[in-house]
Amino acid sequence: MKRAIRVLCLLPLLLSMAACGLFDRREVLFVYNWADYVSEDVIEAFEEAFNCRVVIDTFDSNETMYARLRAGATGYDVIFPSSYMAEIMWREGMLMELDHSQLPNARLIDPDFLAEQAIDTEMRYSVPYMMGTTGIGYRSDRIEVTDRSWNIFERADLAGRMMMLDDMREVIGAGLLYLGHSINTTNAAEINAAADVVIRWKRNLAQFDSEAYKTGLASGSFFVAQGYSGDVRMVIDDEPSVAYFLPREGFVYYVDDMVIPRTASNPTLAHAFINFMTAPENAAANTEWAYFLTPVTAAYDLLDEATRNDPAVFVPREDFRRAQTLRDVGEALSIYSAAWDRIKAAR
């Protein structure tokens, strides 16, 4: 009788453990990614196809992700850095060289993209995942935009109703673009001049944040926000009065990659995941879900008509001439970091 009582007492704990997956003996793939970047249906399809579980942690900037890894965070099998950060991580020995025999779908990556825009042109350590732009989202029902420029952040009449990303390279890059400089300059005077511009803009900003701007635009709490094209496009689905533009001075066109860290505990499953994400049907599903553009051209015929005609996804050629892509700035990164500290400390 006492044994039966003990079993009954343990039953709630056992049920709780089962609900938490503690009895789930499937392999686990740990992914470190940007928020809202992979279709849940695609993740579920991968889990079913490979009899595994996918656990996703998120980061809000390349620098945040990099700092966490350098501080000793381990356990991730696949990470999604932007190309310039993937290059830094490779140079510092943080990434595994990819085994292309396990990545047959890598041959579907657009060869023109690899030749003209990719940093890792041979995909030695990275496979491109998505491409997008950084521009400005705004509430067309609350404000009128007559000049599609970064100088919108100069508007004192919108003080407290505007946000910029909490991302050093993106924010200082906006200042550099506004001044007519390269977003990859290593010139200290240009970087500091851009920081001065951002400090001037900061007087009108509510905050720097890489996530809250989405709900802020959707709710109308904020009228203007620097943001990523796919994120703003998702907001537009729920709130059609939100609009998006690419500033006339120029904008960031970025590529995010899939990489396997040297400390990955399951590199075989990691290769399978990267290969799965690059299959045309899955690449198309992720593009339709996240509104970022896959470099898998075989996926384009699988996209719905609305996505194929969406300028937030397929940037018009006339706009693309103003695009710049972030690159590794080497030792000048310390200049950017000092300028960013100065921006954050400014009142």
Which structural domain, as residue segments, surrounds residue 341?
132-253+319-345
pLDDT score at 16: 52
Residue 304 lies inside a defined structural domain of this protein: yes
pLDDT score at 1: 39
- Pair 197, 167 in one domain: yes
Specify the pairing of strand 251-258 against strand 323-324.
parallel
Q: What secondary structure letter does DSSP report for 82?
A: B
CB 304 within 8 A of CB 157: no
CA–CA separation, 172 and 154 (whole Å): 15
Listed as ranges, residues in the chain with pLDDT below 70 are: 1-24
Residue 50 lies inside a defined structural domain of this protein: yes
- Pair 203, 230 in one domain: yes
Residue 171 lies inside a defined structural domain of this protein: yes
Indicate the pTM of the whole model. Answer: 0.86
- Pair 221, 279 in one domain: no
Query: Which residues, in sequence order, are bridge partners of residue 266?
Result: none
Which among 110, 84, 132 is positioned nearest to 252, based on CA atoms?
132
Residue with the two structure tokens 């943001």: 227
CA–CA separation, 105 and 308 (whole Å): 22
Which among 142, 314, 173, 300 is positioned nearest to 230, based on CA atoms?
314
- Pair 80, 163 in one domain: no
Question: For the chain, how many structural domains are there in total?
Answer: 2
The CATH number linked to 52 is 3.40.190.10
- Pair 125, 263 in one domain: yes
pLDDT score at 267: 98
- Pair 248, 328 in one domain: yes
- Pair 41, 189 in one domain: no
- Pair 202, 324 in one domain: yes
CA–CA separation, 12 and 285 (whole Å): 40
- Pair 273, 215 in one domain: no
pLDDT score at 347: 86
pLDDT score at 14: 44
- Pair 174, 240 in one domain: yes
pLDDT score at 20: 52
- Pair 173, 241 in one domain: yes
pLDDT score at 21: 53
Q: What secondary structure letter does DSSP report for 313?
A: T
CB 339 within 8 A of CB 191: yes
